[in-house]
Amino acid sequence: MSAGEVLRAALLAHLGGVVRVFDAPPLRASMPQVVLDDPVLAAADAAGVRGRVGTIAVGYADDGESPVRLRALIAVVEAAMDGVPADLGGGGWRLATLRLTRSRLWRGKSDRWVAMSEFAVRMYRIN
């Protein structure tokens, strides 16, 4: 598995224990919805170490007049991301850092509340 696939699988498993998370926008699921995007990674290799740096985002959607429920869900997911274990469980990849870089909430189409949390990620594997 590639570094991106390992990271995504580990995050889906970790977040799945906290919230209902999807790997793609669901066609028929009740609100609110949490979707883990694909990571955007670049090589950051060193002597004897394979490394990757990049970002991964979590998207949210909810109906309603107020974003109160969505704000609470965002807080839960962002707190859960702080607890991701360093051992990603695939191919020797380990997480060096995973930190929130930005979070945004806005009114989307069809009176739906939409949000996004973006995380910077650094991971490595000893060759």
3-class secondary structure per residue, the chain: CCHHHHHHHHHHHHHHCCCCEECCCCCCCCCCEEEECCCEEEECCECCEEEEEEEEEEEEEEECCCCHHHHHHHHHHHHHHCCCCCECCCCCCEEEEEEEEEEEEEECHHHEEEEEEEEEEEEEEEC
Range of the domain at 40: 3-126
**What does the pLDDT read at residue 110?**
82
**What does the pLDDT read at residue 1?**
84
Question: How many structural domains compose the chain?
Answer: 1
Structure tokens at 97: 């850092």
Residue 29 belongs to domain with CATH number: 3.30.2000.30
Q: Which residues does the chain have with pLDDT short of 70?
A: none
| pLDDT tens column, 76-107 | 999 999 999 999 987 899 999 999 999 999 99
pTM of the predicted structure, to 2 decimals: 0.94
